[in-house]
């Protein structure tokens, strides 16, 4: 089993977090999970919309006190 994929886009503005998430998901097999770290508040809206449009499953979404969002996405 491979190590979990973590994509750290903290400090990067949208659309980069979604674009990098998409690239990481396409590199994996269906059912694999990717964790995205993002600091752009726009990601809180863009990531769920991307998952819905692209057929991926948003497993979890949390916001850390420092303003970092953590998303776990399963490839569809």
| Helical pair 43-54 and 16-27, crossing angle rounded to 10 deg | 40
Catalytic residues: 14
- Burial state string for 1-38 with b = 16 or more CB within 10 A and e = fewer than 16: eeeebebebeeeebeebbebbbebbeeeeeeebbbbbb
């Amino acid at each position: 089993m491979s190590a979990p994929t973590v994509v750290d886009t903290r400090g990067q503005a949208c659309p980069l977090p979604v674009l990098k998430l998409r690239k990481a998901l396409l590199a994996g097999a269906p059912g694999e999970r990717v964790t995205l770290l993002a600091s752009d508040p726009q990601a809180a809206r863009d990531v769920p919309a991307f998952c819905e449009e692209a057929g991926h499953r948003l497993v979890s979404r949390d916001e850390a006190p420092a303003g970092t969002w953590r998303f776990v996405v399963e490839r569809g």
